Amino acid sequence: MPVSDGDWKRLLSNARLRLTAEEEASFRRDLDAILDAFSVLDRAPAAETSAFHPIDVPLALREDKPEPWDDPDELLKGRPLHGRFLKGPRV
Amino acid sequence: MTRPTPLQAFRRGLPSLDLEDYHAKLREELQRRNRDLRFMLATPSEPGAAEPGAFHGVPVTVKDALTVRGLEATAGSRILQGYVPVFTATAVERLERAGGVVHGKTAMDEFGFGTFGTNCAFGAPRNPWDPSRVTGGSSGGAGVAAALLAHHVAIAESTGGSISSPASFCGAVGLTPTYGRISRWGLIDYANSLDKIGVITRSTRDGFEAFNAMLGPDAHDATSQNPHNLAATRRPVKRIGVMRELVDASKPEVAKPFRSAMDRLAAEGVAVQEVSFPLAKEALAAYYVLACSEASTNLAKYCGLRYGPQGELDKPFDESFAAVRSRDFGAEAKRRVLLGTYARMAGYRDAYYLKATRVRGAVIEAYRGLFRNVDVLASPTMPILPPRFEEVAALDPVDVYALDAISVGPNLAAMPHLSVPCGYVTDLPVGLQFVANQWDEGALWDVGERWEAAFPYRFPANVGAVP
Protein backbone atom coordinates (compact mmCIF):
# COMPACT_ATOMS: atom_id res chain seq x y z
CA MET A 1 0.00 0.00 0.00
CA PRO A 2 1.50 3.39 -0.97
CA VAL A 3 2.59 5.75 1.79
CA SER A 4 -0.21 8.24 2.50
CA ASP A 5 0.25 12.02 2.19
CA GLY A 6 -0.07 12.41 5.97
CA ASP A 7 2.50 9.72 6.72
CA TRP A 8 4.88 11.12 4.13
CA LYS A 9 4.75 14.55 5.75
CA ARG A 10 5.29 13.04 9.21
CA LEU A 11 8.15 10.93 7.84
CA LEU A 12 10.01 13.93 6.42
CA SER A 13 9.62 15.75 9.70
CA ASN A 14 10.82 12.79 11.79
CA ALA A 15 13.75 12.16 9.42
CA ARG A 16 14.67 15.86 9.48
CA LEU A 17 14.94 16.10 5.73
CA ARG A 18 13.81 18.95 3.54
CA LEU A 19 13.62 17.67 -0.01
CA THR A 20 13.11 19.40 -3.33
CA ALA A 21 9.90 18.58 -5.19
CA GLU A 22 11.87 16.43 -7.57
CA GLU A 23 13.54 14.52 -4.72
CA GLU A 24 10.22 14.05 -2.96
CA ALA A 25 8.64 12.49 -6.04
CA SER A 26 11.62 10.20 -6.58
CA PHE A 27 12.14 9.08 -2.97
CA ARG A 28 8.43 8.56 -2.40
CA ARG A 29 8.22 6.35 -5.49
CA ASP A 30 11.29 4.43 -4.28
CA LEU A 31 9.88 3.96 -0.78
CA ASP A 32 6.59 2.62 -2.13
CA ALA A 33 8.47 0.15 -4.34
CA ILE A 34 10.79 -0.94 -1.51
CA LEU A 35 7.91 -1.46 0.95
CA ASP A 36 6.05 -3.42 -1.70
CA ALA A 37 9.11 -5.66 -2.25
CA PHE A 38 9.51 -6.09 1.52
CA SER A 39 5.90 -7.18 2.01
CA VAL A 40 7.47 -10.65 1.97
CA LEU A 41 7.99 -9.98 5.70
CA ASP A 42 4.22 -10.27 6.27
CA ARG A 43 4.33 -13.97 5.45
CA ALA A 44 7.86 -14.71 6.66
CA PRO A 45 8.49 -17.28 9.39
CA ALA A 46 9.38 -15.56 12.63
CA ALA A 47 10.98 -16.58 15.90
CA GLU A 48 9.00 -16.26 19.11
CA THR A 49 11.25 -13.54 20.44
CA SER A 50 13.00 -10.61 18.83
CA ALA A 51 16.71 -10.90 17.99
CA PHE A 52 17.90 -7.35 18.63
CA HIS A 53 21.44 -8.73 18.66
CA PRO A 54 22.48 -11.77 16.64
CA ILE A 55 24.63 -13.15 19.47
CA ASP A 56 24.30 -13.25 23.23
CA VAL A 57 25.83 -10.05 24.52
CA PRO A 58 27.00 -10.30 28.13
CA LEU A 59 25.67 -7.60 30.40
CA ALA A 60 28.47 -5.08 30.75
CA LEU A 61 26.80 -2.89 33.37
CA ARG A 62 27.47 -3.23 37.09
CA GLU A 63 24.74 -2.93 39.70
CA ASP A 64 24.03 0.61 40.88
CA LYS A 65 25.71 1.32 44.20
CA PRO A 66 24.62 4.42 46.17
CA GLU A 67 27.61 6.48 47.29
CA PRO A 68 27.95 9.74 49.22
CA TRP A 69 28.07 12.78 46.96
CA ASP A 70 29.13 16.39 47.29
CA ASP A 71 26.67 18.80 48.86
CA PRO A 72 24.49 20.18 45.99
CA ASP A 73 24.20 23.55 47.73
CA GLU A 74 27.99 23.88 47.68
CA LEU A 75 28.09 23.06 43.98
CA LEU A 76 25.40 25.62 43.12
CA LYS A 77 26.91 28.39 45.20
CA GLY A 78 27.92 31.45 43.16
CA ARG A 79 26.62 30.07 39.84
CA PRO A 80 23.83 31.51 37.66
CA LEU A 81 20.64 29.75 38.74
CA HIS A 82 17.07 29.33 37.64
CA GLY A 83 15.34 28.09 40.77
CA ARG A 84 17.34 25.03 41.83
CA PHE A 85 18.76 24.49 38.34
CA LEU A 86 21.98 25.74 36.76
CA LYS A 87 21.35 28.33 34.08
CA GLY A 88 23.19 27.72 30.81
CA PRO A 89 23.92 30.14 27.98
CA ARG A 90 21.19 30.74 25.43
CA VAL A 91 21.92 28.80 22.21
CA MET B 1 56.11 -27.42 -1.47
CA THR B 2 53.50 -24.81 -0.59
CA ARG B 3 53.85 -21.27 -1.93
CA PRO B 4 54.67 -18.58 0.63
CA THR B 5 51.78 -16.23 1.30
CA PRO B 6 52.29 -12.55 0.43
CA LEU B 7 53.01 -11.74 4.09
CA GLN B 8 55.45 -14.64 4.42
CA ALA B 9 57.23 -13.42 1.27
CA PHE B 10 57.41 -9.92 2.75
CA ARG B 11 58.97 -11.21 5.98
CA ARG B 12 61.55 -13.19 4.01
CA GLY B 13 62.55 -10.05 2.13
CA LEU B 14 62.49 -7.85 5.21
CA PRO B 15 66.19 -8.21 6.25
CA SER B 16 67.37 -6.75 2.95
CA LEU B 17 64.74 -3.98 2.91
CA ASP B 18 65.30 -0.32 3.77
CA LEU B 19 61.83 0.12 5.29
CA GLU B 20 61.83 3.90 5.22
CA ASP B 21 62.72 3.95 1.55
CA TYR B 22 60.26 1.11 0.80
CA HIS B 23 57.32 2.97 2.35
CA ALA B 24 58.27 6.28 0.76
CA LYS B 25 58.30 4.69 -2.71
CA LEU B 26 55.11 2.78 -1.97
CA ARG B 27 53.41 6.01 -0.97
CA GLU B 28 54.41 7.64 -4.27
CA GLU B 29 53.19 4.68 -6.29
CA LEU B 30 49.87 4.60 -4.42
CA GLN B 31 49.33 8.27 -5.13
CA ARG B 32 50.06 7.70 -8.79
CA ARG B 33 47.62 4.79 -9.04
CA ASN B 34 45.05 6.73 -7.07
CA ARG B 35 44.80 9.37 -9.77
CA ASP B 36 43.17 6.77 -12.04
CA LEU B 37 41.46 4.44 -9.61
CA ARG B 38 40.34 6.87 -6.83
CA PHE B 39 40.55 4.24 -4.11
CA MET B 40 42.33 6.27 -1.42
CA LEU B 41 41.09 9.24 0.60
CA ALA B 42 43.16 10.82 3.41
CA THR B 43 46.81 9.78 3.62
CA PRO B 44 49.36 10.65 6.31
CA SER B 45 52.04 13.17 5.37
CA GLU B 46 54.46 10.31 5.81
CA PRO B 47 53.87 6.71 6.95
CA GLY B 48 54.61 6.13 10.64
CA ALA B 49 57.53 4.13 11.99
CA ALA B 50 56.98 0.37 12.21
CA GLU B 51 56.74 -1.18 15.67
CA PRO B 52 58.43 -4.55 16.17
CA GLY B 53 56.02 -7.46 15.84
CA ALA B 54 54.48 -10.04 13.52
CA PHE B 55 53.40 -7.29 11.10
CA HIS B 56 56.62 -5.29 11.26
CA GLY B 57 56.65 -2.99 8.24
CA VAL B 58 53.56 -4.49 6.58
CA PRO B 59 51.58 -1.84 4.64
CA VAL B 60 48.06 -1.36 6.00
CA THR B 61 45.12 0.60 4.63
CA VAL B 62 42.01 1.48 6.63
CA LYS B 63 38.44 1.86 5.41
CA ASP B 64 37.36 5.44 5.93
CA ALA B 65 34.67 4.34 8.42
CA LEU B 66 37.36 3.63 11.02
CA THR B 67 39.21 6.32 12.90
CA VAL B 68 42.95 6.85 12.74
CA ARG B 69 44.21 9.62 15.00
CA GLY B 70 45.02 12.74 13.00
CA LEU B 71 43.69 11.44 9.66
CA GLU B 72 40.42 12.86 8.32
CA ALA B 73 37.57 10.33 8.64
CA THR B 74 34.50 10.97 6.49
CA ALA B 75 32.93 7.51 6.15
CA GLY B 76 32.59 8.53 2.52
CA SER B 77 30.15 11.32 3.40
CA ARG B 78 30.31 15.04 2.71
CA ILE B 79 28.63 15.69 6.06
CA LEU B 80 31.77 14.51 7.90
CA GLN B 81 34.23 16.34 5.67
CA GLY B 82 36.89 17.93 7.86
CA TYR B 83 36.33 15.63 10.84
CA VAL B 84 39.77 14.68 12.19
CA PRO B 85 39.50 12.08 14.98
CA VAL B 86 41.59 12.38 18.11
CA PHE B 87 41.79 8.64 18.67
CA THR B 88 42.50 5.45 16.71
CA ALA B 89 40.05 2.56 16.37
CA THR B 90 40.96 -0.48 18.46
CA ALA B 91 41.31 -2.75 15.42
CA VAL B 92 43.73 -0.36 13.73
CA GLU B 93 45.64 0.28 16.93
CA ARG B 94 46.16 -3.46 17.50
CA LEU B 95 47.53 -3.95 13.99
CA GLU B 96 49.78 -0.91 14.36
CA ARG B 97 51.07 -2.26 17.67
CA ALA B 98 51.92 -5.50 15.85
CA GLY B 99 54.04 -3.50 13.40
CA GLY B 100 51.60 -2.53 10.63
CA VAL B 101 52.22 0.79 8.86
CA VAL B 102 49.11 2.76 7.90
CA HIS B 103 49.26 4.23 4.40
CA GLY B 104 45.87 5.90 4.43
CA LYS B 105 42.11 5.65 4.33
CA THR B 106 40.26 3.79 1.60
CA ALA B 107 37.21 4.97 -0.32
CA MET B 108 33.76 3.66 0.53
CA ASP B 109 30.06 4.13 -0.10
CA GLU B 110 28.64 6.85 2.12
CA PHE B 111 28.31 5.34 5.63
CA GLY B 112 28.51 1.89 4.00
CA PHE B 113 25.29 2.37 2.02
CA GLY B 114 26.10 0.52 -1.18
CA THR B 115 26.54 -2.75 -3.00
CA PHE B 116 28.78 -1.45 -5.77
CA GLY B 117 30.98 1.31 -4.35
CA THR B 118 29.19 3.97 -6.37
CA ASN B 119 27.48 5.98 -3.60
CA CYS B 120 30.64 7.86 -2.64
CA ALA B 121 30.67 11.60 -1.95
CA PHE B 122 34.28 11.94 -3.11
CA GLY B 123 34.18 9.86 -6.30
CA ALA B 124 33.63 6.16 -6.86
CA PRO B 125 36.70 3.90 -6.89
CA ARG B 126 37.36 2.03 -10.12
CA ASN B 127 38.00 -1.66 -10.55
CA PRO B 128 41.70 -2.32 -11.29
CA TRP B 129 40.76 -5.25 -13.56
CA ASP B 130 38.75 -2.91 -15.77
CA PRO B 131 38.36 0.72 -14.69
CA SER B 132 35.05 1.02 -16.53
CA ARG B 133 33.62 -1.40 -13.94
CA VAL B 134 32.68 -0.98 -10.29
CA THR B 135 34.68 -2.31 -7.36
CA GLY B 136 31.81 -3.62 -5.26
CA GLY B 137 30.92 -1.99 -1.98
CA SER B 138 30.87 -0.65 0.42
CA SER B 139 34.60 -1.31 1.12
CA GLY B 140 35.44 -0.65 -2.54
CA GLY B 141 38.73 1.15 -1.92
CA ALA B 142 39.91 -1.68 0.33
CA GLY B 143 39.17 -4.19 -2.45
CA VAL B 144 41.23 -2.16 -4.92
CA ALA B 145 44.13 -1.82 -2.48
CA ALA B 146 44.19 -5.59 -1.89
CA ALA B 147 44.16 -6.27 -5.63
CA LEU B 148 47.03 -3.85 -6.27
CA LEU B 149 49.43 -4.23 -3.32
CA ALA B 150 51.68 -7.27 -3.22
CA HIS B 151 52.01 -7.40 0.60
CA HIS B 152 49.28 -5.65 2.49
CA VAL B 153 46.32 -5.80 4.86
CA ALA B 154 43.19 -3.77 4.13
CA ILE B 155 41.12 -3.24 7.25
CA ALA B 156 37.50 -3.18 6.13
CA GLU B 157 34.00 -3.42 7.57
CA SER B 158 30.84 -5.28 6.63
CA THR B 159 27.25 -4.63 7.59
CA GLY B 160 25.46 -6.58 4.85
CA GLY B 161 28.25 -7.81 2.56
CA SER B 162 30.65 -4.87 2.36
CA ILE B 163 33.74 -7.06 2.62
CA SER B 164 32.65 -9.99 0.44
CA SER B 165 31.33 -7.88 -2.42
CA PRO B 166 34.53 -5.88 -3.12
CA ALA B 167 36.71 -8.92 -2.41
CA SER B 168 34.78 -10.80 -5.08
CA PHE B 169 34.68 -8.00 -7.67
CA CYS B 170 38.36 -7.10 -7.14
CA GLY B 171 39.63 -10.70 -6.97
CA ALA B 172 40.91 -10.70 -3.38
CA VAL B 173 40.23 -12.63 -0.16
CA GLY B 174 37.67 -11.09 2.19
CA LEU B 175 37.19 -12.29 5.76
CA THR B 176 34.12 -11.18 7.70
CA PRO B 177 34.24 -12.55 11.27
CA THR B 178 31.43 -13.36 13.66
CA TYR B 179 29.73 -10.25 15.02
CA GLY B 180 31.60 -9.21 18.18
CA ARG B 181 34.96 -10.86 17.41
CA ILE B 182 36.66 -7.54 16.71
CA SER B 183 35.94 -4.40 18.71
CA ARG B 184 33.89 -1.74 16.90
CA TRP B 185 35.40 1.05 18.99
CA GLY B 186 36.36 3.78 16.57
CA LEU B 187 33.99 2.62 13.85
CA ILE B 188 31.61 5.22 12.44
CA ASP B 189 28.41 3.21 12.77
CA TYR B 190 26.10 2.13 10.02
CA ALA B 191 23.99 -0.39 11.99
CA ASN B 192 25.25 -1.37 15.44
CA SER B 193 23.79 -4.88 15.57
CA LEU B 194 25.23 -5.76 12.16
CA ASP B 195 28.57 -3.97 11.80
CA LYS B 196 31.64 -6.21 11.78
CA ILE B 197 35.27 -5.27 11.19
CA GLY B 198 37.27 -7.65 9.00
CA VAL B 199 40.04 -7.69 6.41
CA ILE B 200 40.72 -7.98 2.70
CA THR B 201 44.04 -9.56 1.79
CA ARG B 202 45.59 -11.73 -0.92
CA SER B 203 45.47 -15.05 0.93
CA THR B 204 43.42 -16.78 3.58
CA ARG B 205 46.38 -17.18 5.90
CA ASP B 206 47.29 -13.50 5.69
CA GLY B 207 43.71 -12.59 6.48
CA PHE B 208 43.62 -14.84 9.51
CA GLU B 209 46.97 -13.59 10.79
CA ALA B 210 45.62 -10.02 10.70
CA PHE B 211 42.34 -11.16 12.22
CA ASN B 212 44.21 -12.84 15.10
CA ALA B 213 46.11 -9.63 15.75
CA MET B 214 42.91 -7.59 15.99
CA LEU B 215 40.35 -9.86 17.69
CA GLY B 216 39.33 -10.10 21.31
CA PRO B 217 37.45 -8.20 23.98
CA ASP B 218 37.89 -4.47 24.33
CA ALA B 219 36.75 -2.47 27.33
CA HIS B 220 35.44 0.20 24.94
CA ASP B 221 32.97 -2.16 23.19
CA ALA B 222 30.58 -4.18 25.36
CA THR B 223 29.67 -6.46 22.45
CA SER B 224 33.28 -7.51 21.78
CA GLN B 225 34.15 -11.01 22.92
CA ASN B 226 36.22 -14.06 22.02
CA PRO B 227 34.35 -17.04 23.46
CA HIS B 228 36.34 -19.70 21.60
CA ASN B 229 40.06 -19.54 21.08
CA LEU B 230 40.47 -19.45 17.33
CA ALA B 231 43.45 -21.79 17.19
CA ALA B 232 41.58 -24.33 19.31
CA THR B 233 38.51 -24.26 17.11
CA ARG B 234 40.43 -24.61 13.85
CA ARG B 235 39.36 -27.89 12.36
CA PRO B 236 39.40 -29.69 9.04
CA VAL B 237 36.33 -29.23 6.89
CA LYS B 238 34.81 -32.51 5.77
CA ARG B 239 31.36 -31.51 4.53
CA ILE B 240 30.35 -28.55 2.36
CA GLY B 241 26.73 -27.63 1.77
CA VAL B 242 26.07 -25.90 -1.55
CA MET B 243 23.21 -23.41 -1.15
CA ARG B 244 21.02 -24.45 -4.07
CA GLU B 245 18.75 -21.38 -4.30
CA LEU B 246 21.69 -18.97 -4.24
CA VAL B 247 23.53 -20.81 -7.00
CA ASP B 248 20.35 -20.94 -9.09
CA ALA B 249 19.94 -17.17 -8.64
CA SER B 250 23.44 -16.52 -10.02
CA LYS B 251 24.25 -15.76 -13.64
CA PRO B 252 25.59 -18.78 -15.59
CA GLU B 253 29.01 -17.15 -16.08
CA VAL B 254 29.33 -17.01 -12.27
CA ALA B 255 27.70 -20.35 -11.46
CA LYS B 256 30.00 -22.25 -13.83
CA PRO B 257 33.36 -21.51 -12.15
CA PHE B 258 31.65 -21.94 -8.78
CA ARG B 259 30.50 -25.47 -9.72
CA SER B 260 33.99 -26.27 -11.04
CA ALA B 261 35.40 -25.21 -7.66
CA MET B 262 33.00 -27.52 -5.85
CA ASP B 263 33.98 -30.39 -8.18
CA ARG B 264 37.63 -29.72 -7.43
CA LEU B 265 37.07 -29.78 -3.67
CA ALA B 266 34.98 -32.96 -4.00
CA ALA B 267 37.84 -34.57 -5.95
CA GLU B 268 40.08 -33.82 -2.98
CA GLY B 269 37.85 -35.83 -0.69
CA VAL B 270 35.50 -33.19 0.74
CA ALA B 271 31.86 -34.33 0.82
CA VAL B 272 29.92 -31.77 -1.22
CA GLN B 273 26.14 -31.88 -1.00
CA GLU B 274 23.31 -29.57 -2.00
CA VAL B 275 21.29 -27.95 0.76
CA SER B 276 18.25 -25.70 0.68
CA PHE B 277 18.11 -22.21 2.16
CA PRO B 278 14.64 -20.96 1.30
CA LEU B 279 14.75 -17.75 3.37
CA ALA B 280 16.96 -15.58 1.16
CA LYS B 281 14.19 -13.11 0.21
CA GLU B 282 12.95 -12.88 3.78
CA ALA B 283 16.52 -12.34 5.06
CA LEU B 284 17.01 -9.58 2.49
CA ALA B 285 13.90 -7.70 3.60
CA ALA B 286 14.67 -8.18 7.31
CA TYR B 287 18.23 -7.00 6.76
CA TYR B 288 17.26 -3.79 5.00
CA VAL B 289 14.55 -2.95 7.54
CA LEU B 290 16.90 -3.51 10.50
CA ALA B 291 19.98 -1.93 8.94
CA CYS B 292 18.10 1.17 7.81
CA SER B 293 16.25 1.47 11.14
CA GLU B 294 19.55 1.47 13.00
CA ALA B 295 21.17 3.74 10.42
CA SER B 296 18.39 6.29 10.68
CA THR B 297 18.99 6.64 14.41
CA ASN B 298 22.79 6.62 14.04
CA LEU B 299 22.66 9.36 11.44
CA ALA B 300 20.42 11.58 13.60
CA LYS B 301 23.53 13.10 15.14
CA TYR B 302 24.74 14.46 11.80
CA CYS B 303 22.81 17.71 11.89
CA GLY B 304 25.42 20.44 12.07
CA LEU B 305 25.40 20.80 15.84
CA ARG B 306 28.06 18.41 17.06
CA TYR B 307 28.87 16.61 13.81
CA GLY B 308 28.55 18.05 10.34
CA PRO B 309 29.28 21.53 9.07
CA GLN B 310 28.07 24.23 11.44
CA GLY B 311 26.30 27.23 9.99
CA GLU B 312 24.51 30.13 11.64
CA LEU B 313 21.67 28.86 13.79
CA ASP B 314 19.32 31.58 12.55
CA LYS B 315 16.25 29.35 12.22
CA PRO B 316 14.45 26.96 14.59
CA PHE B 317 16.52 23.84 15.36
CA ASP B 318 14.50 21.47 13.19
CA GLU B 319 14.79 23.70 10.15
CA SER B 320 18.52 24.24 10.63
CA PHE B 321 19.18 20.54 11.14
CA ALA B 322 17.05 19.57 8.13
CA ALA B 323 18.88 22.11 5.96
CA VAL B 324 22.32 20.69 6.83
CA ARG B 325 21.22 17.07 6.40
CA SER B 326 19.38 17.72 3.14
CA ARG B 327 22.37 19.52 1.67
CA ASP B 328 25.12 17.13 2.74
CA PHE B 329 23.63 13.62 2.72
CA GLY B 330 23.83 11.81 -0.59
CA ALA B 331 20.79 10.29 -2.28
CA GLU B 332 21.24 6.77 -0.90
CA ALA B 333 21.73 8.08 2.63
CA LYS B 334 18.47 10.01 2.36
CA ARG B 335 16.70 6.96 0.93
CA ARG B 336 17.87 4.74 3.80
CA VAL B 337 17.10 7.34 6.47
CA LEU B 338 13.56 7.54 5.07
CA LEU B 339 13.10 3.77 5.00
CA GLY B 340 14.54 3.31 8.49
CA THR B 341 12.52 6.15 9.97
CA TYR B 342 9.34 4.81 8.38
CA ALA B 343 10.01 1.28 9.71
CA ARG B 344 10.23 2.69 13.26
CA MET B 345 7.35 5.15 13.01
CA ALA B 346 4.30 4.80 15.25
CA GLY B 347 1.80 2.59 13.44
CA TYR B 348 4.43 0.71 11.41
CA ARG B 349 6.99 -0.35 14.00
CA ASP B 350 5.38 -3.72 14.71
CA ALA B 351 4.90 -4.58 11.04
CA TYR B 352 8.42 -3.68 9.97
CA TYR B 353 11.06 -3.20 12.65
CA LEU B 354 9.83 -5.66 15.27
CA LYS B 355 8.78 -8.22 12.67
CA ALA B 356 12.25 -8.00 11.12
CA THR B 357 13.90 -8.73 14.48
CA ARG B 358 11.81 -11.90 14.75
CA VAL B 359 12.52 -12.92 11.16
CA ARG B 360 16.20 -12.48 11.95
CA GLY B 361 15.75 -15.06 14.73
CA ALA B 362 14.18 -17.48 12.23
CA VAL B 363 17.05 -16.92 9.78
CA ILE B 364 19.63 -17.65 12.51
CA GLU B 365 17.78 -20.87 13.36
CA ALA B 366 17.66 -21.86 9.68
CA TYR B 367 21.45 -21.46 9.40
CA ARG B 368 22.02 -23.41 12.61
CA GLY B 369 19.86 -26.21 11.22
CA LEU B 370 22.06 -26.44 8.13
CA PHE B 371 25.23 -26.51 10.23
CA ARG B 372 24.02 -29.66 11.98
CA ASN B 373 24.82 -31.52 8.75
CA VAL B 374 27.68 -29.59 7.15
CA ASP B 375 30.82 -27.76 8.30
CA VAL B 376 30.56 -24.83 5.92
CA LEU B 377 28.08 -23.54 3.35
CA ALA B 378 29.13 -22.39 -0.11
CA SER B 379 27.71 -20.26 -2.91
CA PRO B 380 28.97 -17.68 -5.36
CA THR B 381 29.79 -14.46 -3.48
CA MET B 382 27.96 -12.18 -5.90
CA PRO B 383 25.39 -13.36 -8.46
CA ILE B 384 26.93 -11.31 -11.29
CA LEU B 385 30.32 -10.27 -12.66
CA PRO B 386 31.44 -6.74 -11.73
CA PRO B 387 29.13 -4.49 -13.79
CA ARG B 388 30.02 -1.29 -15.65
CA PHE B 389 29.19 2.03 -14.01
CA GLU B 390 26.44 2.79 -16.52
CA GLU B 391 24.83 -0.59 -15.88
CA VAL B 392 24.63 0.20 -12.16
CA ALA B 393 23.24 3.68 -12.84
CA ALA B 394 20.37 2.11 -14.78
CA LEU B 395 19.22 -0.03 -11.83
CA ASP B 396 16.47 1.09 -9.47
CA PRO B 397 16.94 0.69 -5.68
CA VAL B 398 14.87 -2.52 -5.45
CA ASP B 399 17.04 -4.13 -8.16
CA VAL B 400 20.22 -3.05 -6.38
CA TYR B 401 19.05 -4.36 -3.00
CA ALA B 402 18.04 -7.68 -4.60
CA LEU B 403 21.66 -8.21 -5.69
CA ASP B 404 22.59 -8.42 -2.00
CA ALA B 405 20.50 -11.57 -1.60
CA ILE B 406 23.55 -13.81 -1.17
CA SER B 407 25.63 -11.58 1.08
CA VAL B 408 23.06 -10.33 3.59
CA GLY B 409 22.11 -13.75 4.99
CA PRO B 410 25.32 -14.50 6.90
CA ASN B 411 25.60 -10.83 7.90
CA LEU B 412 22.09 -10.76 9.32
CA ALA B 413 22.76 -13.99 11.23
CA ALA B 414 26.28 -12.94 12.35
CA MET B 415 27.81 -16.01 10.68
CA PRO B 416 31.50 -15.56 9.70
CA HIS B 417 32.21 -15.81 6.00
CA LEU B 418 35.13 -15.84 3.61
CA SER B 419 35.14 -14.81 -0.04
CA VAL B 420 37.93 -16.21 -2.23
CA PRO B 421 38.52 -16.00 -5.98
CA CYS B 422 37.35 -19.17 -7.77
CA GLY B 423 37.70 -18.28 -11.44
CA TYR B 424 38.33 -15.63 -14.07
CA VAL B 425 35.80 -14.92 -16.82
CA THR B 426 36.84 -12.58 -19.64
CA ASP B 427 39.62 -11.41 -17.35
CA LEU B 428 37.25 -10.55 -14.49
CA PRO B 429 37.41 -12.35 -11.14
CA VAL B 430 34.60 -14.51 -9.77
CA GLY B 431 34.18 -14.98 -6.02
CA LEU B 432 33.23 -18.04 -4.00
CA GLN B 433 31.82 -17.52 -0.51
CA PHE B 434 32.14 -19.96 2.40
CA VAL B 435 29.94 -19.42 5.46
CA ALA B 436 30.55 -21.04 8.87
CA ASN B 437 28.55 -21.20 12.08
CA GLN B 438 28.95 -18.40 14.63
CA TRP B 439 32.45 -18.42 16.22
CA ASP B 440 33.62 -21.19 13.84
CA GLU B 441 36.09 -19.10 11.81
CA GLY B 442 38.53 -22.01 12.12
CA ALA B 443 36.51 -23.95 9.54
CA LEU B 444 36.83 -21.04 7.11
CA TRP B 445 40.57 -20.90 7.65
CA ASP B 446 40.88 -24.58 6.83
CA VAL B 447 38.69 -24.61 3.73
CA GLY B 448 40.17 -21.32 2.45
CA GLU B 449 43.74 -22.56 2.68
CA ARG B 450 42.83 -25.89 1.17
CA TRP B 451 41.12 -24.14 -1.74
CA GLU B 452 43.98 -21.81 -2.57
CA ALA B 453 46.56 -24.60 -2.40
CA ALA B 454 44.81 -26.00 -5.46
CA PHE B 455 43.90 -22.72 -7.13
CA PRO B 456 46.57 -20.02 -7.54
CA TYR B 457 45.13 -16.49 -7.63
CA ARG B 458 45.89 -13.79 -10.19
CA PHE B 459 46.14 -10.07 -9.53
CA PRO B 460 46.11 -7.04 -11.83
CA ALA B 461 49.31 -5.58 -10.30
CA ASN B 462 52.00 -6.28 -7.71
CA VAL B 463 52.70 -2.84 -6.28
CA GLY B 464 55.50 -2.87 -3.70
CA ALA B 465 56.59 -6.47 -4.36
CA VAL B 466 59.76 -7.25 -2.40
CA PRO B 467 62.49 -8.97 -4.41
Residues in chain A closer than 8 A to B333 (CB atoms): none
B39-89 residue pLDDT tens: 999 999 888 888 999 999 999 999 999 999 999 999 999 999 999 999 999
**Which runs of E-coded beta strand occur in B399-449?**
417-425, 428-436
CA distance B128 to chain A (A): 32
B200 has which bridge partners? Answer: B154, B174
Q: Which of B131, B142, B136 is nearest to B116 (CA)?
A: B136
CA distance A74 to chain B (A): 31
For residue B385, pLDDT beyond 60: yes
pLDDT at B104: 97
pLDDT at B262: 98
Decide: residue B350, CB within 10 A, 0-12 exposed, 13-18 middle, 19+ buried.
exposed
For residue B107, pLDDT beyond 80: yes
Assign B287 a pLDDT band (cuts: 50, 70, 90): very high
For residue B242, pLDDT beyond 60: yes
CA distance B406 to chain A (A): 16
CB-based contact A11 B341, cutoff 8 Å = yes
Average pLDDT over residues A35-53: 92
pLDDT at B305: 85
CB-based contact B222 A60, cutoff 8 Å = yes
CB-based contact B322 A16, cutoff 8 Å = yes
Nearest residue, CB atoms, A41 vs list B345, B359, B402: B359
CB-based contact A17 B357, cutoff 8 Å = no
Q: Where are the alpha helices (DSSP H) in B229-279?
A: 230-233, 244-248, 252-267
Nearest residue, CB atoms, A47 vs list B326, B358, B412: B358
B151-160 residue pLDDT tens: 999 999 999 9
pLDDT at B2: 75
pLDDT at B411: 98
Question: What chain A residue is nearest to B437 in terms of C-alpha separation?
Answer: A55
Pairing verdict, β A81-82 and A85-86: antiparallel
Average pLDDT over residues B364-370: 97
Assign A50 a pLDDT band (cuts: 50, 70, 90): confident
Catalytic residues of B: 63, 138, 162
Please give the residue that has the higher pLDDT: either B396 or A57: B396
Q: Which of B32, B47, B52, B295 is nearest to B189 (CA)?
A: B295
For residue B426, pLDDT beyond 60: yes
B261-271 residue pLDDT tens: 999 999 999 99
B296-345 residue pLDDT tens: 999 999 998 888 777 777 888 889 999 999 999 999 999 999 999 999 99
Nearest residue, CB atoms, A46 vs list B288, B337, B362: B362
User: A81-85, B185-189, B329-333: which has the minimum mean pLDDT?
Assistant: A81-85
- Percent of chain B having pLDDT more than 70? 99
User: Residues 87..126 of B with a Cβ closer than 8 Å to A: which?
Assistant: none
For residue B370, pLDDT beyond 60: yes
CA distance B367 to chain A (A): 12
What is chain B's mean pLDDT, rounded? 95
User: A60-69, B100-109, B336-345: which has the minimum mean pLDDT?
Assistant: A60-69
For residue B1, pLDDT beyond 60: no
Per the document, the length of chain A is 91
Assign A61 a pLDDT band (cuts: 50, 70, 90): confident
Average pLDDT over residues A25-39: 97
Residue B353 to residues B114, B289, B356, B363, B420, Cα–Cα distance (Å): 21, 6, 5, 15, 33
For residue B192, pLDDT beyond 90: yes
Average pLDDT over residues B357-365: 97
CB-based contact B357 A44, cutoff 8 Å = no
Residues in chain B closer than 8 A to A24 (CB atoms): none
pLDDT at B407: 96
Distance separating alpha carbons of residues B366 and B362, to the nearest angstrom: 6
B307 has which bridge partners? Answer: B302
Assign B276 a pLDDT band (cuts: 50, 70, 90): very high
Average pLDDT over residues A68-72: 83
CB-based contact A33 B397, cutoff 8 Å = yes
Assign B232 a pLDDT band (cuts: 50, 70, 90): low
Q: What is the DSSP letter of B421?
A: E
pLDDT at A69: 82
ipTM, 2 decimals?
Answer: 0.93
CB B444 within 8 A of CB B377: no
Edge-first strand listing for the sheet containing B101-106: B101-106, B59-63, B153-158, B196-201, B173-176, B417-425, B428-436, B376-380, B239-243, B271-275
pLDDT at A91: 61
Assign B231 a pLDDT band (cuts: 50, 70, 90): low
- Percent of chain A having pLDDT more than 70? 99
Nearest residue, CB atoms, B282 vs list A10, A44, A60: A44
Distance separating alpha carbons of residues B256 and B259, to the nearest angstrom: 5
What is chain A's mean pLDDT, rounded? 90
CB B343 within 8 A of CB B352: yes
pLDDT at B45: 87
- Percent of chain B having pLDDT more than 90? 92
Residue B401 forms contact with A (CB below 8 Å): yes
What are residue B332's phi and psi, to 5 degrees? -70, -35
Residues in chain A closer than 8 A to B402 (CB atoms): 37
